Structure 1
Amino acid sequence: MRAGELLGRTAYDLHGRRLGRVVDVVVRGDLPDGRLRLTDVFVNGHWWSRAVRRLVGGERPRGPWAIRVVARTVRHHDRQLPVDQVQLLPPVPGFPFGPPRG
């Protein structure tokens, strides 16, 4: 599974309530064989914050102080959620823990 398959998908909680869109993922390399494991997703529920994020330059915006303030405000709307508490639509094969081993 690639991060690009997850980004932009609509995320729902386990009860079917809409949480927002996936804007980032967290992976950790703590598996014994050295593979990475998806642990969390960042979800943002506001359409305007995704648009502003693109305009001001993402994580580390540069420029006038007003742009930096807007970017910092937008980041506060992101929520980090464990992958086992999120459902994605349209579904991604193997989410959240990869394909079953057989």
Structure 2
Amino acid sequence: MPADQPESPLHAGALIGREVRDRHGRIIGRIADIETARDTDGRERVTALIVTAGRWGRLLGYERHETVGPWLLEHLARIILRRHTTRVPWPDAHV
């Protein structure tokens, strides 16, 4: 995101599904999830975006490697969902 934009509250719904581009302007994929961390002021800050190149929308949480669930869903997530996901650090995201 450009550094010259003023900070304003960001709603996850405004980001989910949006295209993310690399620094050369090529489309990486669409935002499937958002990683956040609490800052020193106690506010949640976006730290990274989980981007999927496939046509999957929300991935039911299985795009994250730390998600554990029924073995069959976990196995399918490993084979199908995660192969097209990328973690893009927030400062590198061009939304």
- Do these two structures clear the TM 0.5 threshold for a shared fold by scoring above it? yes
Q: Match of 2:53? A: 45
Once the two structures are aligned, what percentage of the paired residues are identical? Answer: 32
Deviation at 1:16, TM superposition (A): 0.2
Runs of 5+ unmatched residues, structure 1: 89-102
Deviation at 1:84, TM superposition (A): 1.3
Number of residue pairs matched by the alignment: 80
Between Structure 1 and Structure 2, the one with more helix by share is: 1
CA RMSD of aligned residues (A): 2.3
Runs of 5+ unmatched residues, structure 2: 1-9, 63-67
User: Would the aligned equivalents of 1:58 and 1:71 in 2 still touch at CA under 8 Å?
Assistant: no
Deviation at 1:68, TM superposition (A): 4.3
Q: Give the TM-score taking structure 1 as reference length.
A: 0.65
Per the alignment, in what secondary structure is the counterpart of residue 14 of structure 1?
coil
Q: Of the two, which has the highest radius of gyration? A: 1
Q: Match of 1:23? A: 32
User: Would the aligned equivalents of 1:11 and 1:20 in 2 still touch at CA under 8 Å?
Assistant: yes
Q: Give the TM-score taking structure 2 as reference length.
A: 0.69
